[in-house]
């Protein structure tokens, strides 16, 4: 069963590379197949059997889970693909473009399993990350309710100012983190800084999502968490675009640091004014 499974994977992947469509003169077989000398066919597909070619094949020659024998009179003008079998060529056989021979031994199966596992793992991580990028802002809005709504209403997306503040905040955080890495004692503090950055990113993502959701005015009475859901979904869609996603994530991080830095600064100013009055 494992060999059949890996054969199917290899066959499906390689078929994507085979140009053209099979014509009426193509051969599709699930048993041992012979193309005698003097016969011309367009394409030959043999699955689960051996193929012996003595005539002319003008198109694709594919053999899956079987051996291929090219006689001395064989004339192949296109791609030859053999998966899970051997290729034997007699003197005088003429080959065209390329020959792909993939054996399904233990090493190949292990490589396919490891590669498939890594690809699946990366896909699962990407899916989980996308879901978190949507769910976390919505949960923050739902759990915080009035406080979170007040926090988001306080900030309009003045991108220039927020990016400016966030950029210098990130430089300060990077400098402090570098100093903390020098000493072992500073590592716990570095972990706290990392957690603070993650919290800032979550809060900033909530504000940005809410602002983006407000750009869509129908229905008019959309609730706050629906705005955040819509905005977070749009942001997550852009984050999944190669290269563009990294740029968008960097901008969101800088804006989030700018928002949280402004919030901390405003809190300290209120405390200082209160202490002066007292």
Q: Which two tokens stand for residue 100?
A: 């792909």
**Which DSSP state fits 77?**
-
- The pLDDT of residue 20 is 41
Q: Is 15 a residue whose pLDDT tops 70?
A: no
* DSSP E strand boundaries for the chain: 27-29, 33-35, 40-41, 44-47, 51-53, 56-57, 61-64, 68-70, 75-76, 80-83, 87-89, 99-102
- The pLDDT of residue 64 is 85
User: How would you classify residue 238: left for phi > 0, otherwise alpha for psi between -120 and 50, otherwise beta?
Assistant: alpha
Is 223 or 17 the better-scoring residue by pLDDT? 223
Mean pLDDT (the chain, rounded): 78
Q: Is 3 a residue whose pLDDT tops 60?
A: no
Task: Encode pLDDT of 67-86 as tens digits.
Answer: 889 988 998 887 888 887 88
Q: Which two tokens stand for residue 269?
A: 């100013």
The candidate with the shortest Cα–Cα distance to 209, out of 223, 229, 190, is 229
Q: How confident is the model at residue 17 (pLDDT cuts 50, 70, 90)?
A: very low
Indicate the burial class of 207 (C-beta count within 10 angstroms; 0-12, 13-18, 19 or more): buried
- The pLDDT of residue 275 is 61
- The pLDDT of residue 28 is 61
- The pLDDT of residue 16 is 45
- The pLDDT of residue 276 is 60
Q: How confident is the model at residue 25 (pLDDT cuts 50, 70, 90)?
A: low
- The pLDDT of residue 200 is 87
Beta-ladder partners of 47: 64
- Return the axis-axis angle of helices 106-144 and 224-239, rounded to nearest 10°: 150
- The pLDDT of residue 186 is 75
- The pLDDT of residue 193 is 86
Task: Encode pLDDT of 164-188 as tens digits.
Answer: 888 998 888 888 888 887 776 777 8
Q: Could you give phi then psi for residue 81, rounded to 5 degrees? A: -125, 125
Q: Is 2 a residue whose pLDDT tops 60?
A: no
% of the chain exceeding 70 in pLDDT: 75
- The pLDDT of residue 18 is 47
Is 4 or 120 the better-scoring residue by pLDDT? 120
CB contact set of 44 (below 8 Å; sequence gap of 6+)? 26, 27, 29, 33, 35, 51, 53, 57, 59, 60, 61, 62, 63
Task: Encode pLDDT of 199-224 as tens digits.
Answer: 888 888 888 888 888 777 665 556 77
Is 180 or 247 the better-scoring residue by pLDDT? 247
Rounded CA-CA distance 64/52 in Å is: 13
Rounded CA-CA distance 171/46 in Å is: 62
């Amino acid at each position: 069963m494992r060999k059949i499974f890996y054969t199917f994977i290899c066959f499906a992947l390689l078929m994507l590379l085979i140009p053209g469509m099979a014509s009426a003169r193509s051969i599709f077989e699930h048993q041992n197949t012979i193309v005698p000398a003097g016969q011309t066919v367009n394409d030959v597909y043999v699955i689960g059997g051996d193929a012996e070619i003595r005539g002319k094949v003008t198109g694709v020659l594919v053999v899956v889970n079987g051996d291929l024998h090219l006689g001395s009179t064989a004339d192949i003008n296109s791609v030859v693909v053999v998966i899970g079998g051997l290729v034997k060529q007699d003197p005088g056989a003429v080959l065209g473009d390329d020959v792909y021979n993939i054996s399904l031994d233990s090493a190949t199966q292990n490589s396919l399993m490891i590669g498939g596992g890594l690809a699946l793992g990366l896909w699962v991580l990407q899916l989980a990350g996308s879901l978190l990028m949507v769910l976390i802002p919505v949960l923050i809005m739902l759990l915080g309710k009035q406080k979170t709504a007040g926090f988001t209403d306080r900030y309009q997306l003045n991108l220039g100012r927020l990016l400016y503040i966030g950029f210098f905040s990130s430089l300060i955080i990077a400098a402090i983190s570098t100093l903390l890495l020098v000493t072992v004692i500073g590592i716990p503090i570095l972990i706290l800084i990392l957690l603070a950055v993650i919290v800032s990113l979550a809060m900033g993502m909530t504000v940005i999502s809410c602002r983006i959701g407000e750009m869509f005015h129908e229905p008019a009475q959309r609730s706050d968490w629906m705005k955040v859901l819509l905005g977070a979904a749009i942001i997550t869609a852009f984050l999944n675009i190669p290269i563009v996603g990294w740029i968008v994530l960097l901008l969101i991080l800088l804006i989030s640091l700018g928002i949280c830095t402004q919030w901390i600064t405003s809190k300290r100013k209120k405390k200082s004014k209160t202490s002066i009055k007292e």
